[in-house]
Chains A and B, each alone.
Chain A
Amino acid sequence: MKTSPSSNGESLGHRSASLRRRHLIAALFKALCIGFTLFAVSVLGLLIAQVGADGLPWLDTQFLNNFPSRFPEKAGIKSALYGTLWVVSLTALIALPMGVLAAIYLEDYAPASRLTRVIEINIANLAGVPSIVYGILGLAIFVRFFGLERSVLAGAMTMSLLILPVIIISSKEAIRAVPSSIRLAAYAVGATQWQVVRSHVLPAAIPGILTGVILALSRAIGETAPLIMIGALTYVAFTPEGPMDEFTALPIQIFNWASRPQAEFHELAAAGIIVLLVVLLTMNALAVFIRYKGTQK
C-alpha cells in the first residue's frame, strides 16, 4: 500500500477538514455500495411483479391441462410440462452417475499427472462454453449422426453434456470436503479404495452432491437455446410416451409465446414463466434444505 503524502505543514484546521472529507467519501462510498446492492435485490422484485401482473390472470387448471393452440384463450402448457419432466428425468439418469463417478475419479483416484490436469482444466472451461454451442453439438451428433431426430432422448443427452461439468465441479467440492482422517481411518483397517469411497466418502459427501445435482438440473430445466438448436420448437399437441417421441419444453413454449407480437400471447408467456419459476424455486428450496440438513450433522 502506498502511504498518502503527509500533511505536516498544514494547520490543524486544514487537517480536520481533510479528515472530514475522507470520512464523507467513506460514507458516500458505503451508501453507493448499499444502493447498488438494493438495486440488484429490487430487480428481482420488479421481475416477479411484472411476470405476476401479466401472467396470474391466465393461470388456471385449463392452462395446465390444455395443449398449445392458435387461440390464446384455449392455449395451455400440458405438452410442455410433460416434455420438461421427460427431459429432466432422463438427463438426471444420464448425467448424475457419470458426473459423480467422474468426480470420484478426479478426487480420490486420479494420479497427479499431466492428463489429470488437462481433464481438470477442460472441465472448468466446458462449464463456460455457451449453451448454444452444446445445441450445435447435439444437432450434429445426437440428432444427425445417431439419427435420434427431435426426440426426448436427443434433448436429454444434449442437456446431460451441458450440465455434466457443473455436476462434476460441485460433486468434487463435496467429496473434497470429506475430512481425510475418515479415509485414512478406513484404509488403516484394511479397506480397499472402492470400499473407502463407497462406505465412507460417498455417504458423507451425498448432501453436497445432491445439492449440486439439483441446482444443475434446475439449470437444465431453464435452458432454451440447446433445445431450439436440436429442433424442439415445433407444434406438439401430445405428451411424449417414450424417449423416442418428439417433445416441447416449458422454456421453449415460453419463447414461442413471447416472440409473437400479440399481447395475449405475451401474457400466456408470463403465465408459463410463473409455472417455470415455481418449479425452479421448489428445486432451489429443496437444495437449500438438503444443504442445511447436511451441515447439521
Chain B
Amino acid sequence: MNTMTLLTTSKYRWGEAILRQLFFLCALISVLTTVIVIGILAVETSSFFQQVSITDFLFGTEWRPMLEPKAYGILPLLGGTMLIVVGSSIVALPVGLACAVYLSEYASDRARNIIKPVLEVLAGIPTVVYGYFAISFVTPGLRFVFDDVQIFNAASAAIVVGIMVLPMVASLCDDALRSVPLSLREGAYSVGATSYEVTARVVVPAALSGIFAAFVLAVSRAIGETMAVTLAAGATPNLTLNPLESIQTMTAYIVQVSLGDTPSGGLAYKTLFAVASVLFTITLVMNLLANKVMRKYQEVYE
C-alpha cells in the first residue's frame, strides 16, 4: 500500500513537470517573438546599410526609393509621422485628460456606466473605419472651412488618429486619477479648496506619472497607426510643416511598398525593413519608458 502511493505520487510528479515545461514554453513564445522581430529587422537593415550610408538615411531630406534619381533620406517620412503625432496629440491629450477628470472626479455612477462603455466601443472600432471617417467626413469638413486643403492631407488623418487614441488616454488617465487616495482629496477640500483646485493642484499632480505614461503610450500608438494614415494622409513623402498638404508617414510607406509588386531582395524592398526598424525602435523606447513609469507609480500607492 505504502509503495503503491509512492509510485502513483511519482507518476503524478512526472505529469506535473511536463505540464510545467509546456506552460513555460507558451510564455517563452512572447520572448521568441521579440527576438525574431529584432533579428529580422537587424539583418535586413544592415544589408540595406551596405548600399546606402547611415548618414544619408538618417539625415537625408529626400525620400525617392522608386524613382530616379533615387534618394533614401528618411526625414520626410519621419516629418510626416511627427505631423500626425503633434496633430493627434492636440486632439487626444487634452480631451482625453478632461474625460478622465470628469469620469474620476465629477461623474455619478450612472454617467460613468454610460460613458465608459461608449469609450470602450470607440476604442474597439477598427482603424480602417476611422480612415473611412477621415476621407468621408473630416476631409470634406476641412475643405469646407479652409481654402487650400489637398484631397489627402495630414490634418484630417491627425484628427481621426487623435479620436482613435482618445479612449486609451481617457481610460489610462482615469486609472491614474482613481489610484490617488481619497484622503488627499478630503484633506484639500477640508482646507477650503474648490473642486478645480483639488483636481488641478492635488489629484493631477499626484497622478502625474500615470498621466505621463498614458500620454507616452498615446503618442506611441499614433506613431504606429497605419490604416487611417494610409487612407487619409496620402502617399507623398513631403518634408513640410503645413498640415493641409499631403504627406506620407513611415507606416503608410510600408503599406505602399507591400501593396506594389516590389521584387523581394532588391534595394527598394529592403527600405521596408529599414523604415520598420526606425518605427520599431521609436515605439519600443516609448513603450519601455511608459511601462517603467507606470510600474513606478503603481508602487507608490499600492
Contacts and interface: CB of A to CB of B under 8 A. Distances in A.
B185 to A, nearest CB: 11
A26 B102 contact: no
B179 interface: no
A168 B195 contact: no
Contacts of A35: 98
A225 B116 CA distance: 27
B212 to A, nearest CB: 15
A164 B30 contact: yes
B27 A136 contact: no
A144 B43 CA distance: 15
Given A34-B102, A37-B115, A130-B279, A22 B197 contact: yes
B126 interface: yes
Nearest to B15: A194
A161 interface: yes
Contacts of B273: 136
Contact of A225 (B29, B36, B200, B255): B255
B129 A277 contact: yes
B197 A128 contact: no
Given A34-B106, A50-B137, A119-B31, A43 B280 contact: no
Interface in B246-301: 251, 254-255, 258-259, 264, 272-273, 276, 279-280, 283-284, 286-288, 290-291
Interface in B106-147: 106-107, 115, 117-122, 124-129, 131-133, 135-137
B161 interface: no
Interface in B171-192: 187-188, 191
A70 interface: no
A224 B126 contact: yes
B122 A40 contact: yes
Interface stretch (A56-64, A96-104, A201-209): A96-104
Interface in A131-186: 131-133, 135-137, 139-141, 144, 161, 164-165, 168
A254 B196 CA distance: 45
Interface residues of B, number: 96
B30 A165 contact: yes
Contacts of A280: 124-126
B33 A126 contact: yes
Given A1-B188, A233-B259, A251 B137 contact: no
Interface residues of A, number: 90
A101 B23 contact: yes
B195 A44 contact: no
Given A33-B106, A128-B287, A224-B126, A141 B36 contact: yes
B231 A255 contact: yes
Contact of B128 (A124, A140, A258): A258
Contacts of A132: 224, 226, 251, 254-255, 276, 279
Contact of B132 (A22, A98, A270): A270
B132 A104 contact: no
B226 A131 contact: yes
Nearest to A281: B121
A110 B106 contact: no
A264 interface: no
A54 B136 contact: yes
Contacts, number: 259
Nearest to B151: A261
Contacts of B31: 118-119, 122
A219 interface: yes
Contact of A43 (B105, B163, B220): B163
Contacts of A106: 27
A210 interface: no
A225 B291 contact: no
A208 B290 CA distance: 26
B291 A124 contact: yes
B227 A224 contact: yes
A23 interface: yes
Given A29-B200, A40-B95, A136-B254, A109 B37 contact: no
Contacts of A98: 26, 29
Given A124-B291, A280-B126, A119 B30 contact: yes
21 contacts: A23-B194, A30-B102, A30-B195, A40-B118, A41-B115, A121-B288, A126-B34, A129-B283, A130-B283, A133-B276, A136-B41, A136-B273, A141-B36, A168-B27, A194-B16, A224-B226, A224-B227, A231-B258, A251-B128, A255-B227, A276-B129
The 3 closest A-B pairs by CB, nearest first: A130-B224, A222-B126, A105-B23
Interface of B: 12-13, 15-16, 19-20, 22-24, 26-31, 33-34, 36-37, 40-41, 44, 94-96, 98-99, 101-103, 105-107, 115, 117-122, 124-129, 131-133, 135-137, 163, 166-167, 170, 187-188, 191, 194-197, 199-202, 205, 217, 220-221, 223-227, 230-231, 251, 254-255, 258-259, 264, 272-273, 276, 279-280, 283-284, 286-288, 290-291
Given A104-B23, A132-B254, 5 more contacts: A37-B99, A47-B133, A133-B276, A251-B227, A281-B121
